[in-house]
């Protein structure tokens, strides 16, 4: 199934962001965002938080599935606005995102999208500057995070698309979130 509109997929899983740049919300006693998107989706995310009545205080984690600009550009904004949220990524992603040159490039590409969509006012108002991306906790094949309500989140390092990639598996939801750039529909 390929879902193209934001909103609830189930009572525990939501698709957020835009068709071009998505984030998933997994809801348990604690909640998790999967994906770091690009900064230009911040206004849409803020609207979705209200429209879908999302309790941001319940969100404890955001997972960066790999260090490419379109998968982590929203993270500095999220961390500034919701400082209790812990940023998760692989050790390799942490090393990559610690490099000033990488952060400068991520800022450049995200800012070019802000300019493309003529969102300069939102950029200023929401402080969408990407000055750093700090990783609070690294994950690997042995990491399991319990969100409560029987929701366990497992991580599988999947270098290939990027050397720092990680897939997220949630057995209870029968869901696997791969670090590929776009969802690929399955065909038989």
**Segment 126-177, tens digit of pLDDT:** 999 999 999 999 999 999 999 999 999 999 999 988 999 999 999 999 999 9
CATH superfamily of 7-177: Ribonuclease Z/Hydroxyacylglutathione hydrolase-like (3.60.15.10)
Burial of 5 from C-beta contacts in 10 A (0-12 / 13-18 / 19+)? exposed
pTM for this one?
A: 0.92
Least reliable range by pLDDT among 36-45, 115-124, 138-147, 179-188: 179-188
Condensed to tens digits (0 to 9), the pLDDT of residues 21-60 reads: 999 999 999 999 999 999 999 999 999 999 999 999 999 9
Q: What is the mean pLDDT of the chain?
A: 93
Other CB atoms within a 10 A radius of the CB of residue 62 amount to 25
Nearest to 40 by CA among 99, 145, 111: 111
Instruction: Give the tens place of pLDDT for each residue, 50-73.
Output: 999 999 999 999 999 999 999 999
- CA pair distance 123, 112, nearest whole angstrom: 11
**What mean pLDDT do residues 79-100 have?**
98
> What confidence score (pLDDT) does residue 187 get?
47
């Amino acid at each position: 199934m390929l879902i193209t509109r934001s909103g609830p997929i189930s009572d525990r899983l939501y698709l957020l962001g835009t068709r071009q740049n998505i984030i998933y919300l997994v809801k348990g006693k604690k909640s998790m965002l999967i994906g770091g998107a690009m900064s230009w989706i911040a206004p849409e995310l803020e609207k979705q938080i209200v429209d879908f009545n999302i309790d941001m205080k319940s969100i404890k984690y955001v997972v960066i599935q790999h260090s490419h600009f379109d998968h982590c550009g929203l993270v500095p904004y999220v961390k500034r606005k919701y400082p209790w949220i812990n940023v998760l990524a692989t050790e390799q992603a942490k090393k990559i995102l610690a490099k000033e040159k990488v952060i400068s490039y991520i800022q450049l590409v995200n800012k070019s999208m802000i300019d493309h969509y003529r969102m300069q006012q939102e950029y200023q108002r929401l402080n969408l500057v990407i000055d750093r991306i700090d990783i609070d906790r690294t994950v690997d094949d042995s990491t399991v995070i319990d969100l409560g309500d029987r929701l366990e989140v497992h991580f599988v390092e999947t270098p290939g698309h990027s050397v720092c990639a990680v897939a997220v598996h949630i057995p209870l939801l029968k869901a696997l979130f791969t670090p590929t750039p776009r969802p690929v529909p399955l065909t038989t």
